[in-house]
Chains A and B, each alone.
Chain A
Amino acid sequence: MSGLSDRLRGLVTGETQADRVVPPSGHTARLTSFTAAAMAFLTVFALALSLAAGRLADRWQATLTGSATIRISAPDDQMTAQTNAVLAVLKTTPGISAFRPLTVDEERALLEPWFGPDLPLDSLPIPQLIEVEGQGYDAEGLRLRLAAEAPGAVLDDHTRWREPLVRAAMRIRTLGLVAILLIAGATAAMITLAANAALSANAQVIRVLRLVGARDVYIARAFVRRFSLRALAGAVVGTVAGMAAMAFLPAADEAGGFLTGLGFQGLHWLWPLAIPPLAAVVSFVATRAAALRTLKGLM
């Protein structure tokens, strides 16, 4: 571990004299910097997607976990009795912190988006809804007691549609993380190709260095440092551009839902700052492996 940290320290502090043995190569330099910048830009978006999906899953989980609804469908003459029976059951159920039947106006407001404002509720068999708040209550036990006391009452603790939503959000988060890994892999592959091209283009330099007694690590270091610093510089540009793009996304609001909540929030803005050093590390590992592999083929 200290060996790696020493190498990374050497990467940053630099051995400019050793670096100079490799001639400047504009093409591969630009290719590496551009690749790192583009990949960093994409990583910012993948990271934002992943974090937003995680936030969404947490929010859905938190919002819906503590609430439930009891729906009572009963003939008109039994509605009041069954409602009272349900309220009595709720009153004695451990873990239920609050409950209240929805008023006719509230039920009309719920139905208004679908049926319009002039809905004649009196003439329709609308079920009575009871809003329930609570944590850790025994949902199955409550269902059994409701079935016994009020046969028309059905407990809906939102599990049926909450879990698929939360699962979907978690999968989107995983997808974002997988995308980040794929981007890192693609970055490593592209930098390896660029490094191989640079090594081939500098075959004579390598031959001369071997002839005068240079060890493989010495030769590799010159290439590794150059590529890692290019990747770092490119990734800084890409990350800054990505964060700026995120900053200009519309703010999260109720109407836009998930899409407008895609940006970073609070301390999450710090996460993208890890992208440039990670890009440099990916480049360091990829270039070093490519260089040592190539050098092993030479005497």
Chain B
Amino acid sequence: MIDLQNVAYSYGGGELLSDMTLKLAPGSFHFLTGPSGSGKSTFLKLCYAELLPTAGRVTIFDREVRGMSRDDVARMRQRIGVVHQDCQFLDHLSLAENVALPLQVAGREVAAEASDVLDLLGWVGLKAQVAALPPSLSGGERQRAALARAIIMSPDVILADEPTGNLDWEMSVRLLTLLVELNRMGKTILIATHDLNLIRTVKAQVSARVLRIRDRRLQLAGADL
């Protein structure tokens, strides 16, 4: 699905990520951990071509990102759901319209899939907020809405960057449980988080690999987890 070979990323004259190799196989579940500022978000951005590597190769769905046109990148992103910590929405559109946005930009008939949107919002516990505008939602509701938007297109891969950053423990576990359910449906999941307790909790439910960024390099996390 996503294949990184000896990838490095430099910014402002310094190397932020170095010699990283990772293959995200279909249906796999990965955690990416590391201290704040270690480059977890940068790594995720390399995985959906928001950033291009300064060295090495990133291959997404069997295509090297450097060879992709802007339209190719757009089409590739329709197959990858991304959840950010600072989940951004179009604040002038309702929650349902925001969740349906990927369908709309992909040229699909939103009205015909309205029931799917409502079902999905029900699944993430936001059915009552269908018509609400994003600024009126709580942090937890925004995170779940971001997840709903990320999976509305039934993507092959879901990348989540600190998806529980703004949530309390109970809500964090609930959101992670949703991601575990998606993984059981065959989705490939990569979650960047610094919350080791959360990782331990989820590892009890699903077989997941835990990766760590240390000294700009990617390592397989040890028994401390």
| A residues adjacent to B (C-beta < 8 A) | 17-18, 20-21, 23-24, 204-205, 207-216, 218, 295-296, 299
User: What separation, in Å, do the CA atoms of A17 and B110 have in the docked complex?
Assistant: 9
- Is B149's CB under 8 angstroms from A212's CB? yes
- Is A208's CB under 8 angstroms from B51's CB? no
Query: B146 → chain A, closest Cβ, in Å?
Result: 10
Which residues of B are found within 8 Å of A216, using beta-carbon distances? Answer: 70-71, 74
- In the complex, whether B52 has a CB less than 8 A from a CB of chain A is yes
Q: Using an 8 Å CB-CB cutoff, how does the interface string of B87-115 with A read, 1 for contact, 0 for none? A: 01111110001000110111000100000
- Is B90's CB under 8 angstroms from A210's CB? no
- Is B92's CB under 8 angstroms from A213's CB? no
- Is B78's CB under 8 angstroms from A213's CB? yes
- In the complex, whether B203 has a CB less than 8 A from a CB of chain A is no
- Is A215's CB under 8 angstroms from B50's CB? no
Which residues of B are found within 8 Å of A207, using beta-carbon distances? Answer: 88
Whether A214 touches B110, Cβ cut-off 8 Å, given contacts A18-B104, A21-B90, is no
Which residues of A are found within 8 Å of B77, using beta-carbon distances? Answer: 210-213
- Is A20's CB under 8 angstroms from B74's CB? no
User: What separation, in Å, do the CA atoms of A24 and B106 have in the docked complex?
Assistant: 23
- Is B52's CB under 8 angstroms from A214's CB? no
Which residues of B are found within 8 Å of A17, using beta-carbon distances? Answer: 104, 110
Q: Which of B70, B75, B149 has the most CB of A within 10 A?
A: B70
User: What separation, in Å, do the CA atoms of A213 and B48 have in the docked complex?
Assistant: 10
- Classify the secondary structure of A's interface with B: helix
User: What separation, in Å, do the CA atoms of A208 and B86 have in the docked complex?
Assistant: 12
Query: B209 → chain A, closest Cβ, in Å?
Result: 25
Query: What are 5 A-B interface contacts by the 8 Å CB criterion?
Result: A207-B88, A208-B89, A211-B82, A215-B75, A216-B74
- Is B51's CB under 8 angstroms from A299's CB? yes
Among A23, A213, A215, the residue within 8 A (CB) of B102 is: A213
User: What separation, in Å, do the CA atoms of A101 and B106 have in the docked complex?
Assistant: 86
Whether A213 touches B110, Cβ cut-off 8 Å, given contacts A23-B92, A208-B90, A299-B51, is no
Q: Which of A21, A211, A213, A299 has the most CB of B within 10 A?
A: A213
- Is A214's CB under 8 angstroms from B73's CB? no
Q: Which of A24, A214, A216 has the most CB of B within 10 A?
A: A214
- In the complex, whether B49 has a CB less than 8 A from a CB of chain A is yes
Q: Quick one: closest A residue to B70, CB to CB? A: A216
Query: B99 → chain A, closest Cβ, in Å?
Result: 10
- Is A21's CB under 8 angstroms from B52's CB? no
User: What separation, in Å, do the CA atoms of A243 and B156 have in the docked complex?
Assistant: 60
Beyond A21-B90, A23-B90, A23-B92, 9 extra complex contacts between A and B, CB < 8 Å: A17-B104, A208-B88, A211-B88, A212-B77, A215-B74, A215-B75, A215-B105, A218-B105, A295-B70
| B residues adjacent to A (C-beta < 8 A) | 49-52, 70-71, 73-78, 82, 88-93, 97, 101-102, 104-106, 110, 149, 153
User: What separation, in Å, do the CA atoms of A20 and B50 have in the docked complex?
Assistant: 25
Which residues of B are found within 8 Å of A23, using beta-carbon distances? Answer: 90-92
Query: B69 → chain A, closest Cβ, in Å?
Result: 10
Q: Quick one: closest B residue to A214, CB to CB? A: B105
Which residues of B are found within 8 Å of A205, using beta-carbon distances? Answer: 90
- Is A296's CB under 8 angstroms from B90's CB? no
- Is A20's CB under 8 angstroms from B49's CB? no
- Is B74's CB under 8 angstroms from A299's CB? no
User: What separation, in Å, do the CA atoms of A211 and B83 have in the docked complex?
Assistant: 10
Which residues of A are found within 8 Å of B97, using beta-carbon distances? Answer: 20
For the complex of A and B, the 5 pairs showing the least CB-CB separation, nearest first, are A213-B78, A214-B105, A213-B77, A23-B92, A212-B102
User: What separation, in Å, do the CA atoms of A215 and B91 have in the docked complex?
Assistant: 20
Q: Quick one: closest A residue to B65, CB to CB? A: A299
User: What separation, in Å, do the CA atoms of A299 and B93 have in the docked complex?
Assistant: 24
- Is B71's CB under 8 angstroms from A215's CB? yes
Whether A299 touches B82, Cβ cut-off 8 Å, given contacts A20-B97, A208-B89, is no
Which residues of A are found within 8 Å of B50, using beta-carbon distances? Answer: 211, 299
Which residues of B are found within 8 Å of A296, using beta-carbon distances? Answer: 70
Which residues of A are found within 8 Å of B78, using beta-carbon distances? Answer: 212-213
Q: Quick one: closest B residue to A18, CB to CB? A: B104
Which residues of A are found within 8 Å of B82, using beta-carbon distances? Answer: 211
User: What separation, in Å, do the CA atoms of A211 and B73 have in the docked complex?
Assistant: 10
Q: Which of A21, A212, A215, A295 has the most CB of B within 10 A?
A: A212
- Is B74's CB under 8 angstroms from A21's CB? no
Among A210, A215, A299, the residue within 8 A (CB) of B52 is: A299
Which residues of B are found within 8 Å of A18, using beta-carbon distances? Answer: 104
Which residues of B are found within 8 Å of A209, using beta-carbon distances? Answer: 101, 105
Which residues of A are found within 8 Å of B52, using beta-carbon distances? Answer: 299
Which residues of A are found within 8 Å of B71, using beta-carbon distances? Answer: 215-216
